[in-house]
Structure formats: C-alpha cells, structure tokens
Amino acid sequence: MLEQYNFGKDILYVTDESAVYLSLQKEGRYVLPYLHEGIKSEDFPGAAWLIEDWEETTLESLELVYRRLAGLPWDILETKRCRVRETTVEDVDSFYRIYAEPSITEYMENLFADRDEEIAYTKDYIEKVYAFYGYGMWTILEKGSGVVIGRAGIIWREGYDVPELGFVIGVPWQKRGYASEVCKAILTYAKEELSMEQMQALVRTGNEKSLRLCEKLGFVQDGEVWEDGVLHVRLMKDL
C-alpha cells in the first residue's frame, strides 16, 4: 500500500511496507507508516508517528502529522481578534521585546539572558512538549497586523494533578481585552478538544491584574502555595 496526500507543495506518503518507508525516508520525504494486523513483521525504525486505525484517520489528522514531520506549527484556535498557534523559533525575538518591559517580569520568570539558550529551549519545547502532549504554551498573534502580542496556553506544573492556564500579553496590547478573549477560548478548547475537567491558575501575590482576570474567567481562590520560594494564590475552575 502506498497513498499520497498533497499539502501545499509537499506530499505526505502513507505506506504499510517497511522497504517503501525506508526508501522514502532516505529520499527525505515525509512518510507515515500504517501498522495493521496483516504486517506485524514489518519494521519502521525511527517512526515517531504511526497509523493503526485507518477508519479513524481523517485528512485533518494527516495534515497535523505532516506539519509535525515538516517542523511546521499547529494552528490551535482563533478568536475575533487573535490567532493562537504553536510557538516557533522565529517568535523568540518578539518575546524578548515583550519581556523587556519591567512590568512583565515583575510577577513572572524572564527569558534566558542568552538568546542562544532561549532558542535551544524553544526547539526542545517544540520537539518534546508539543509532540508529547499536543498542547503547551502557545503564541498569540493579532489578526489584523500579524504581530506577536503575547503567549498563552496550558501547562502541567510538577507536583500538581490539574493542568494550569498561563498567559502574558505585551504592554502595548494590554487593557484591550485580549487576555480575556484568548483565555476564554483556551478554556473552551481545553474542555471540548482536550476533555479536561478542571484548570488551575497560580498568580503571584500582588499581581492584582492577573488575579482579577482569573476571577473574571470564573476561577475561584483556593488558598496559597509556595513555588520556587515565591508565594502564589491558587485559583481553580471547573470546566
């Protein structure tokens, strides 16, 4: 079996034959193995993605795999004014401009001082977090301008069994309702697309803006916790 699907100028090949898979890989092609009951002896070395149920496979799911193999970001969601997609290495310079404002890092960790370290971290995040979870912290772009205006997404913090909402909007775009607009959409996405039932938010004490936003989003305060030597208000929301 050998099927091919066109995505722009590229082709994604789907095959259940290891020899074809290896040959296409050697040519630098994007190829996805189809592993089914009739080919248990076939071997697909190095395959990060496999199809096991052909009937459940959609064109949309094939495109997502293609984008992973091609190193292209997934588009996550859109709101009236914003687009949310996976972060790329090209976004890093925009992040440095956003985080250069002292008010941004007053209540959250800064980026690496060394740009090369931040680039390496971003590449590692793309390869491991997105690939493993299918979600994480994403990039927010303003639709009208296409400019990166912040970050938001869903993370897992060590020591907790509930996912966490995270967000930051650059100073020039604050007080316009962008954070509320995007976070509402992410909470809906978490419920409908990821089947999550609860979400937490950890807000450093003193960060009244973020605290008010979380409460506006329906989060309820659930005590205080220490993280990395800093006191946070913990908020919870049932999705």
Specify the pLDDT at position 48: 84
Radius of gyration of the chain (CA): 21
Confidence (pTM):
0.90
Q: Which of 41-55, 61-75, 212-226 has the lowest mean pLDDT?
A: 41-55
Looking at the fold, whether 125 and 84 belong to one and the same domain comes out as: yes
Q: Specify the amino acid at residue 151.
A: R
User: If you search the block for the tokens 């993605």, which residue do you land on?
Assistant: 49
Number of domains making up the chain:
2
Looking at the fold, whether 64 and 87 belong to one and the same domain comes out as: no
Looking at the fold, whether 109 and 214 belong to one and the same domain comes out as: yes
CA distance 131 to 209: 33
What does the block give as tokens for 136?
């994480």
Looking at the fold, whether 125 and 142 belong to one and the same domain comes out as: yes
Contact at 8 Å (CB) between 66 and 5? Answer: yes
Mean pLDDT (the chain) is: 94
**Tens-digit pLDDT profile for residues 102-121:** 999 999 999 999 999 999 99
Looking at the fold, whether 97 and 183 belong to one and the same domain comes out as: yes
Specify the pLDDT at position 228: 87
Looking at the fold, whether 157 and 114 belong to one and the same domain comes out as: yes
**Tens-digit pLDDT profile for residues 63-106:** 999 999 999 999 999 999 999 999 999 999 999 999 999 999 99
Looking at the fold, whether 122 and 34 belong to one and the same domain comes out as: no
* Domain ranges, residue 21: 2-70
Looking at the fold, whether 15 and 121 belong to one and the same domain comes out as: no
| Mean pLDDT within 200-216 | 96
**CATH number reported for the structural domain that contains residue 59 in this entry:** 3.40.50
**Pairing verdict, β 198-204 and 220-227:** unpaired
What does the block give as tokens for 4?
């091919």
Of 43, 70, 97, which residue sits at a domain end?
Answer: 70
Distances (CA, A) of 115 to 9, 89, 97, 213: 32, 11, 12, 31
**Tens-digit pLDDT profile for residues 174-198:** 999 999 999 999 999 999 999 999 9
* Nearest C-alpha neighbor of 30 from the set 52, 12, 50: 12
Looking at the fold, whether 86 and 10 belong to one and the same domain comes out as: no
